[in-house]
Amino acid sequence: MNDELQEVGKYYNMVVEFFINYSMQIVGAIIILVFGIIVSKQLQKAVLRILLKHNFDETLSQFVANFIRFIVIAMVVILALGKIGISVAPFIAAVGALSLTAGLALQGSVSNFAAGIVLIATKPFKIGDTITVHDVYGEVQEIKLAYTVLVNEDKEQITIPNKYMIGDVLVNSFEYRVVEGSIGISYDSNIDKALDGIKEVLASHQELNKENEPIVGIEKFNDSSIDIAYRYWAPTKSFFKTQYAVNAQVFHKFQNENIVIPFPQREIKIVGEKDV
């Protein structure tokens, strides 16, 4: 029992001695830490307010403000640890080693964040635009630092890592997407009547983009038909619906105007053997 009491007394004396020797340093460290946290919060708000006032992107502004606050807090923690006599050199070396390991393990994620910052800064597209990238297309619904979310006509949500936005060819169609169609008519049909008919069909669709006028013209001459091509801009949200409706109207228009849509034809001659 006496041995246990002596052991407890030993540790008690060590604690009392530590607080006697380092009480002022601990108080100073706490004051530095509290003051630093308050300053970092106020600095974060000030930076965010200044960036938003100058019309910087809100997501990028939040990222910059939070990063500055993190740097200030890290510096304050280092000062507080140094105040109570704790060497931060081994700690910094360990953090550096861990950061290098984490960077190598998460280099894909880091590249996504870096690409996200570039996207937000350069703004090659905005929310509501229609983009085609990495063989997929859709309307931009959300832009994050690590990824961008698209929504297509089928209401499917497509999440694309931002590194593909920077390292791949990106096509921005804004709110519309181009539709390409073609139809063949016989050589005996009235070509001008067919061209005018397609133009009338396209003009009847009010949802098409009026800024970019539809293009209708002869695409090529085949063996059995003259191919007429037409291009127009349809809303992304109803891309296929509009395409199918236009094709049906063009077909019915040609039927009503007696414009013949031929099928492939081949002429076969049978050469008989001469009588011996």
197 Cβ contact partners less than 8 Å away, ≥ 6 residues apart:
250, 253, 254, 257, 259
Predicted local distance difference test score (pLDDT) of residue 106: 45
Average pLDDT over residues 39-56: 86
Q: List all residues 6 or more positions away from 127 whose beta carbon is below 8 Å from its beta carbon.
A: 140, 141, 142, 143
Quote the pLDDT of residue 192.
Answer: 94
For 126, 136, 137, 244, the CA distances from 156, given in Å and listed in that order, are: 19, 11, 11, 20
Which pLDDT value is given to residue 5?
Answer: 61
CB atoms within 10 A of CB 109: 14
pTM summary value: 0.58
Any idea what DSSP says for residue 222? -
Q: What is the mean pLDDT of residues 8-12?
A: 66
Q: Are 138 and 130 in contact (CB under 8 A)?
A: yes
Phi, psi angles (nearest 5°) of residue 25: -65, -40
Asked if 236 and 177 count as a contact pair (C-beta separation under 8 A), the reply is yes
Look-up of token digits 């007696």: 258
Query: What is the tens place of the pLDDT at every residue in 185-243?
Result: 999 899 999 999 999 999 999 889 888 889 999 999 988 899 999 999 999 888 899 99
Q: Which of 143, 170, 157 is nearest to 58 (CA)?
A: 143
Instruction: Give percent above pLDDT 90 in the chain.
Output: 26
- Low-confidence winner among 54-58, 65-69, 232-236 (lowest mean pLDDT): 54-58
pLDDT tens digits, 152-172: 888 889 999 888 888 778 888
Distance of CA 52 to the CA centre of its chain: 22
Beta strands in 134-209 (DSSP E): 136-143, 147-151, 157-161, 170-174, 176-185
Q: Is the pLDDT of residue 102 over 60?
A: no
Q: Which of 145, 162, 163, 130 is nearest to 234 (CA)?
A: 130
In angstroms, the first-to-last Cα distance of the chain is 136
Q: Which residue has the higher pLDDT, 77 or 12?
A: 77
Sorted by sequence, the CB contacts under 8 Å of residue 76 that are 6+ apart come out as 32, 33, 35, 36, 37, 39, 40
Domains and CATH numbers, the chain: 2-105 (1.10.287.1260), 125-174 (2.30.30.60), 176-256 (3.30.70.100)
Q: Residue 230's closest CA among 198, 255, 270, 185?
A: 198
Q: In the numeric block, which tokens belong to residue 92?
A: 């910094």
Q: Which residue has the higher pLDDT, 121 or 22?
A: 121
Q: What is the pLDDT of residue 201?
A: 95
Token pair recorded at residue 39: 């300053």
> Could you tell me which residue, 274 or 269, shows the higher pLDDT?
269
Please compute Rg for the chain using Cα positions.
36
Residue among 179, 152, 174 at smallest CA distance from 245: 179
Q: Which residue has the higher pLDDT, 147 or 268?
A: 147
Q: Calculate mean pLDDT across residues 121-126.
A: 84
Q: Please report, rounded to a whole number, the percentage of residues in the chain having pLDDT higher than 70.
A: 79
Q: What is the mean pLDDT of residues 25-46?
A: 85
pLDDT, greater one: 274 or 37: 37
Average pLDDT over residues 82-109: 61
pLDDT at residue 90 above 70? no
Residue 88 has pLDDT above 80, yes or no: no
